[in-house]
Structure 1
Amino acid sequence: PHGPNQKCKSGPVDLVFLIDSSRSVRPHEFETMRKFLIDILNTLDIGLDTTRVGVVQYSSQVRSEFSLKTHSKLENMVKAINEIVPLAQGTMTGLAIRYLMNEAFSPGQGDRPKVPNVAVIVTDGRPQDRVAEVAAEARERGIEIYAVGVARADMTSLRAMASPPFEDHVFLVERFDLIYQFGLQFQDKLCAIDLCAEGKHDCEQICISTPGVFTCDCNKGFKLNRDKRTCTNMDMCNTVKHGCDYQCVNTPGSYHCICPEGQLLQDDGKTCGTCKSANIDLVLLIDGSKSVRPQNFELVKKFVNQVVDSLDVSAHGTRVGLVQYSSRVRTEFPLNMYHTAEDIKAAVMKVDYMEKGTMTGLALKHMLEYSFSEAEGARPASRNIPRIGLVFTDGRSQDDISEYAKKAKEAGITMYAVGVGKAVEDELREIASDPVEKHFYYTTDFSAINTIADNLKLNVCPAESQGEVEVKDPCACENLVEFQQATMNSLDQFTQKHILSK
């Protein structure tokens, strides 16, 4: 414990006093405040490299008596405090805190970077303006606020200004002459021990001490976690065996592999190849709103069937589901209903046209919650079979699409958006996955959507989409051997199952 005359040896602090000089503060009370200020300054280690002090008085306006960089000597500060003339108007505490934040603690007025900012607000006050928001903003910017209420002060307002924990930062002093008690507590707080030096912290990497409190920081390449203690390695690529074929990319606390342009990341997440298996789970959402018109709806169905023709449909290959939406949403058939392209195309041609409004947001929600569920035939996420959603629309949605367009992509669904006629480009772009240019298509005219179907190579190798290679060429030696092998195996299993079980 230090005696009354011992100077406080805290780390450097930038300290600003905000003194309420509204007319409700009586002259003798203002004198007590003046004395209180001088008493506290007497205990501090004042100097441009140690504790810098600024004093601001406020009532309906704000007046800086001296800034953090004005005085480097205690006696000059005392002289300036003795010369303060009270403003004696209203009580605009919110205005004063804003001044504190924008002006008093600014480099121009002598605020030092990396030095704690502490503000002491002394008020009898019931503010006539709003303080909660501006005080929260000041605390957010790292200003530690003590609120000292005297005489008739309002506790709720004091708590709205002060930093948490309140028991350390809010002081209600019934009589102005008791203000010195706060002074003693405040000195203790400001002269508190260096917690970092004493090892009283649990920072994983770096401890930064401010009077009586500490904060943690990280070494280069690390980021502070939400617990404000532990750190996350931002550079996993350099510190783990990532096994990426081509290139490793850091993400917070993790990493992933990427491939060169024109190559695809394979199922193992590490190797790169020119082709990825043609298996996808594809759900098409088609707009059946009345603006589409019957003859155009038939073109939409043909478009869907053209897309189906470009796929390798089978129970183990690509699965296709179809959802129609207008003012409501209807699953025409789920992913596990049909296993051949023929069956799918026949079912598409039988779809009835709804002819109502356009609720694209509702349709995206339905797709996310039902169409890609295992119950409706989507394969388990653990198998990493790409999930692709294709939205076809001819107009602006009547409901909000943002939430579910975002959620669909967050759920790992690759989204394509196809628009015709009055479709709104910004909506299409919002639905489409990145890179947006490769996932959204637009044409003014329904009869031109067949050209889009040709360009939409949803699950074909890049090489194939240029038409150089047939998707499945049975004459290719490798494939033939594979096919024979598979046929022999299934025949084997078949005979064993039937003959041996008798």
Structure 2
Amino acid sequence: MTPTVPLFLLLLGLIGAQATLDQRMAAAMAAGLCKTRPTDLVFIIDSSRSVRPSEFEQVKVFLTNVIDGLSVGPNATRVGVVNYASRVKNEVSLKTHRSKAGLVKHVSKIEPLSTGTMTGLAIQFALNVAFSEGEGGRAKSPDVSKVAIIVTDGRPQDNVKEVAQRARDAGIEIFAIGVGRVDMSTLRQMASEPLDDHVDYVESYSVIEKLTKKFQEAFCETVSDLCATGDHDCQQVCISTPGSYKCACKDGFTLMDDGRTCSACSNAAIDTVFVIDGSKSVRPENFELVKKWINQIIDKLDVSDSKTHVGLVQYSSTVRTEFPLGRHNNKKDLKDAVKKMEYMERGTMTGMALRHMVDSVFNIAQGARPGVQKVAIVFTDGRSQDYIGDAAKKAKDLGMKMYAVGVGNALESELKQIASEPIAEHYFYTADFKAMSQIAKKLQINVCNGEEDPCECDTLVKFQKKVETALQALNKKYILYGE
């Protein structure tokens, strides 16, 4: 029996070594000391009719999370996305995006095809087209990895075994992820060896995110701090992040859409979300005034694909996103969408609305842009029926600029909880809905004054000092409180 003891100690040693390796990997990722080796990565995602729209959204969140851990760039990881059902659509080419921000935005806009399940056809398309040099694939080299990640939830209606073998023979490493009632034998036919490392199964799309860490670690190479070594293309400030780095700008400069260069002009991109109280106390005729008030503010915004994006949330006893950020990027479409908003007419769950705004609306997967100033304009006409403190604090801790506008029975204490510092510049109250139009006229969001240089505009979306004077001049029957 004596050999048992050394064997036992050897096993303990192996387990301990693996634990140490895992700890080092986790620490490296947490410290931003991971870099993905040059890789051509193509996601092949099933959007057949068995994949419900909400489930397809969860797949896009999974893709976004994996991408977030990559070093995206022409000389690092290039990412493509192939969408398939009965037909195949090349959603993102390997040559399309040089920055992570643009890539994530594109992924968020992919729509399901909702027909059959031709997985073999999709693999053949990836082999012939998606990985081709014409679409941005790099020439076969030991220095560049070729990886395909297939996500599917059903049994394919065509043959996958032979085409998957051809793809692997061409040097493409295939990971196969199955969901729900997927055919496991098909996954094994597609995946590379060893199968234990290349085949994954999850019970439903709601838990697919748990695979994120696996793929982030699979692509992670422990390296020195990329910012410290200068292995980045940031124009001004480099910040290490898990798996990569991100760029930032010095005070007085704004990060541009390419995610790396900085502009001295502060009239740059803003994501603005209106959070509107649609409770029964507002009343239908006043709700129409609220919609006009929103459109007055939209008239002041520099709305475009590259500048200001606007989202709209209405809440009562429930919360509803009327339209997400980036859906309408011109003033006419925005204002038309606001006019079509239907009045909810129930309770006042302001805290729930703030949580929805933070977790869902200002979410990259839902159209929010990384590195862009986030601004919320919260309107309410009464006391909240739930607690708002935690959600309001979280929003401000995440760097969101919060404005609170109260009418009628709105509580001054709640408005102050919502508003950013300095509070006096970020909340307003009026006793009458008709006075809201006066407030809207004074909102200075990304607007230049007269003939001033546009670069003097205030991109942090604050009420200008002149607003205080203008508001004091309003009719005395409109009681406006400041701090």
TM over 0.5, yes or no? no
Larger CA Rg, structure 1 vs 2? 1
TM-score by length of 2: 0.40
What's the TM-score once normalised by structure 1's chain length?
0.39
* Greater relative contact order (Cα < 8 A, sep 6+): 2
